Chains A and B, each alone.
Chain A
Amino acid sequence: MRSIQHAFLSVIRKPTKGIVIFLILLMVFTLIFTSIIIQNTIQASKDFTRKELGGNVEMKIDYIKSMQDAQGASITTQNEIQTQLSLPQNVATTLAKDPNVLKYHIENMIYTNSEKLKSGQSDDPSNFTMTLATSTEGSINFMLLASNQLVPLDFEKQLKLAEGRFRTSDDIGKDTILISKEVATKNNLLLGDTVGFKLDPNSEEVSFEVIGIYEGAPSYLVNQTYISDDTLNRHAPQQLENISRVVWQLNDPFIIPDFLSKYENQMPSKYLYLDASNDQYNTLTKPLDVMSTVINMLLVVIFIAGAMITISIVTLFVRERQFEIGLLLANGESKGSILAQFSIEILMVAILAFIFAFAASSLTADFVAGWISENQLVESTSVTQQMISFDDMMNGSNLTMDSIADSFKVAIDLKTFINLSLASIGLLIAAIGAPLAVILSYKPRKSLQY
């Protein structure tokens, strides 16, 4: 009780030292809090990026490596390499058993011609610069993408169904197709109409019922259509071996690194590898990582410097009052009670500093986040953005640096508040623990200089 009363009176009636400690703690807390808030914002932005990129892991073929190995090799070796350049279905199904795999996609790509259908691509020649499907005289090449899933992977993010529906389990045994809005418009196709494609040059044309019309494809991909692997199995089973894409959708994007490290060594060929959106993630978050590292270093420096300054001030604060300590000891006060009084005094000041620093750092962090968003996440990464935009189109992710910059907003949640509180407590323990503990070694006569 005496400790509390005296602590309160000391702070109120002799405010000078309290103000000095308050100002120092305010400055140190504000810097630390701002750093922590920005760190949390960076982490939130990275989480946003990870979520936006999704939890897809794809099995890919390293063609460049295979070409390097094949160069100058014997015909036999070249043939052996060639046999290893296919995506094996058994790996797809094995990895699909992992409890973290939500579902997996196996897609077969078939290039086919149609003499009856017009291309969905624009007549403007400038739009053909990136045409992937080449046309032969009198016919248009279409891509048929057969999927093992009722909803093809491209519809997870990039494409949107404008009309109709996806396949359902009732469609098993039927030949259905999803076509682009552009192809539908050019050919006056409506839902329920039929279109014919050959699944194999030597087989009969298969008639597909249009059950859905999609939109959102880039101009060079509008001739892509979506069919079922069930159709392929019935009409051209040999095509099932030509797997073009294997993708596992994980239930949590944050487990991608673990998933990769678990399975990347289990690929049956050295030309096969697992690829997640990791590269894209790393490219997009690189500026954030650089800032995070700098802020971490600053945080350590501020913490140490702040602790040292506070230690010095509190040491002076205690030494200056050793006479009072001696008097209290002479009265029979316990050292614990004196320690408690001094701790309460500093704690009162520290709580005030915490409140003010919390408010100040919210504003400062907002300002810093705005600066980072405007100057570091847009201008300095415009080239990266262009590169990513192309990759995004291929992978179905619409994430750009602009959207990351937009997401870079300071938000102080409970976790942040707890972090700030822990940092403050840590600093206080580090900075005032030792100087106050010195009180325990004080002798009454020496303190009184008697």
Chain B
Amino acid sequence: MSTLFELKDISYGYIDGGKKRLILDNLSYTFEKGVFYTILGPSGSGKTTLLSLASALDEPETGAIYYNGTDIKKMGYRKFRRDHMSMIFQKYNLIDYLNGVENVQSNIIHTDKRQKIEKKEIAYKVLHQVGIVKTKADRRVNKLSGGEQQRIAIARALAKDVTLVLADEPTGALDTATAKEVIGIFKKLSHELGKTVIIVTHSDEIAHSSDVILGLKNGKLVQLNGGSDHVR
């Protein structure tokens, strides 16, 4: 396997009670192509912060992040977000004046050179994969249930043709059956399509479905299950 994504000497902290508290402390880790990772950790351990740095929503105080060997700061955070990664948020984060299929389409506009009709077909297809039928896909998202909205948010990320998928508690609002289907999709994405999937979760079920389980301890990532050593 080859390296896709690398966090190198990442530090990030917050001012807490007048003192600086480092939540990520010289964290380094290398993520391989086609591997499904989960990151576990208690609340406040820095999982969400780690994900926001990995998705270039924020900038580390020290250290660098490499994508395919290129520093994403040099590449440009916006370009990285636009062309190379896809993110699923804990909250649904959908655009409320668009319907389901338009929300999915809006995420594949940049990276895909295919025709609009073809993109729409892709959007419907991905939505179907996460259990959203066409009639629901054509509804305004604020008319859908929380679970349905989360499925659309997942479909949104999956439809984008990128090699890195990041997710924060993606199955939190889903029923068990759908959650299983979604986990299956993540597995398929990594194993069949060669994408790297990194999920932050509290769910042991997801963790056990992943290839590598990581834990955040004292501002560093540690591998919790067996397999190759990804920790540096």
Contact = CB atoms under 8 A, between A and B. Distances in A.
A352 interface: no
B117 to A, nearest CB: 15
B78 interface: yes
Contacts of A323: 93
A439 to B, nearest CB: 14
Given A13-B140, A330-B81, A448 B93 contact: yes
B52 A9 contact: no
Interface string A323-360: 11001011111100000000000000000000000000
A234 interface: no
A445 B97 contact: no
B52 A445 contact: yes
A9 B48 CA distance: 32
A140 B89 CA distance: 110
Contacts of A10: 97
A331 B82 contact: yes
Describe A's contact surface by its main secondary structure. Answer: helix
Interface string B86-109: 010100011111100010001101
A329 B79 CA distance: 11
B87 A6 contact: no
A444 B53 CA distance: 11
B165 to A, nearest CB: 13
B25 interface: no
Given A445-B57, A450-B52, A330 B87 contact: yes
Interface string A34-57: 000000000000000000000000
A443 B58 contact: yes
B95 A6 contact: yes
Interface in A430-449: 443-445, 448
Contacts of B83: 332
A443 B57 CA distance: 8
Interface in A1-44: 1-2, 6, 9-10, 13-14
Interface string A301-335: 00000000000000000000001100101111110
A324 B102 CA distance: 14
B55 interface: yes
A12 to B, nearest CB: 8
B78 A332 contact: yes
Interface in B64-85: 78-83
A444 B93 CA distance: 12
Contacts of B81: 329-332, 444
Contacts of A330: 55, 57, 81, 87, 93
B21 interface: no
A9 B98 contact: yes
A435 B48 CA distance: 30
Interface in A93-146: none
A443 B212 CA distance: 31
A208 B101 CA distance: 101
B134 interface: no
B110 interface: yes
Contacts of A443: 57-58
A341 to B, nearest CB: 11
Contact of B97 (A13, A444, A450): A13
A386 to B, nearest CB: 67
Given A331-B106, A448-B93, A6 B57 contact: no
A450 B90 CA distance: 9
B95 A324 contact: yes
A295 B55 CA distance: 56
A333 B95 CA distance: 14
B57 A2 contact: no
A13 B55 CA distance: 31
Contacts of B97: 6, 9-10, 13-14
A6 B106 contact: yes
A344 to B, nearest CB: 14
A2 B140 CA distance: 18
Given A331-B110, A332-B82, A444 B98 contact: no
Interface in A41-81: none
B116 to A, nearest CB: 9
A329 B110 CA distance: 12
Contacts of B109: 1-2
Contacts of B48: 450
Contacts of A448: 57, 89, 93
A444 B96 CA distance: 18
Nearest to B79: A332
Contacts of A332: 78-83, 110
Given A9-B97, A13-B140, A448-B57, A331 B89 contact: no
A14 B97 CA distance: 6
Contact of B95 (A1, A327, A450): A327
A330 to B, nearest CB: 6
Contacts of A331: 81-82, 106-107, 110
Given A444-B58, A448-B93, 13 more contacts: A2-B106, A9-B102, A13-B98, A13-B140, A329-B78, A330-B81, A330-B93, A331-B82, A444-B81, A445-B58, A448-B57, A448-B89, A450-B48
In order of increasing CB-CB distance, the 9 nearest A-B pairs are: A332-B82, A332-B81, A445-B57, A13-B97, A445-B58, A444-B57, A14-B97, A10-B97, A445-B52
26 contacts: A6-B95, A6-B98, A9-B97, A9-B98, A13-B98, A14-B97, A323-B93, A329-B57, A330-B55, A330-B57, A330-B87, A330-B93, A331-B106, A331-B110, A332-B79, A332-B80, A332-B110, A333-B82, A334-B78, A443-B57, A443-B58, A444-B57, A444-B81, A445-B52, A445-B57, A450-B52
